Amino acid sequence: MDYCKENIDVFIVLNDFNTRDEGIRVLELGEKKPSSLKYTKSSAYGQDGYTKVSEDAYEGFERTSRVLISDVDSYNRFMDKFYVGKDVRVVYSDDNFKYRLGTISKIEDDIIVGDNREITITIDLQPFKYRGPDDITIENKKTIINPGNVYTLPQIKVHGNGKGKVYINNQTMELDVDEHLIIDCKEIDVFDKNGLRANSRRLSGNFFRLEPGENIINFDGAISKLNLKVNWRWR
């Protein structure tokens, strides 16, 4: 096995801990799986076969990696930072610098020879890999491109004073804005200028999603500007 090449080309970044900076050899990244769509099968009288019923929800997967740590200080830093149950932001070298979110479910620590230790770490990964966040300002009708292959849920800061509507593709939300509102489409919540929940200021409409490809965004009424914070994602 060519460890020198591995040390350069194969890496894992867990939060701010980078195996390349610590001189840690990645022996195995582990099996990578595509996220699968959650669905149930439904059948009805007069129906041939089954119908797939889904709410566009995806399942994550578990990935087990092995690293070789020879430096005592690097080993101590690793073991101090990471433990079972810890939530992590992880970048694998085979994910083209996109990051994933997950929770450490298992760590095994084996002494090889002297100070050499082989660490096996298993992470329960959420379904998607991400790029961003990107900040996008909308001052007039605009088309933005979702480069990912699955929809994403933006956070939208709506500026204005009074009633107006926000349009994304065929989605519409009517709002009553006081200076600004934060529309958190992931958490399905609205916050006012003081950071307090203000769902009553959403007068109508559902929370937004940005589909893969082109998304046309516009607003009217007393709304003057939109700021979008978006994490693009891939399954």
Task: Give me the average pLDDT of each 10-residue run along the chain (235 residues).
Answer: 52 96 94 72 58 66 96 94 97 95 96 86 95 96 96 97 98 98 97 97 97 98 98 94
Of 122, 16, 3, which is closest to residue 70 (Cα–Cα)?
3
Beta strands in 79-170 (DSSP E): 87-92, 99-111, 117-138, 142-146, 155-168
CB distance 27 to 60 below 8 Å: no
Helices (H), 29-139: 72-81
Of 166, 176, 160, 178, which is closest to residue 210 (Cα–Cα)?
166
Q: Distance (Å, rounded) from C-alpha 72 to C-alpha 168? A: 53
Q: Return the domain boundaries, the chain.
A: 3-130, 139-234
Of 149, 154, 160, 167, which is closest to residue 201 (Cα–Cα)?
160
Full-model pTM: 0.80
Q: Distance (Å, rounded) from C-alpha 14 to C-alpha 29? A: 13
Q: Same fold for the domain at 3-130 and the one at 139-234?
A: no
CATH 3.40.50.300 matches 139-234: no
pLDDT score at 216: 98
- Tell me, what amino acid is at 34? P
How would CATH label the architecture of 3-130?
Answer: Beta Barrel (2.40)
Task: State how beta strands 25-28 and 36-37 pair.
Answer: unpaired
CB distance 194 to 167 below 8 Å: no
3-state secondary structure of 125: strand
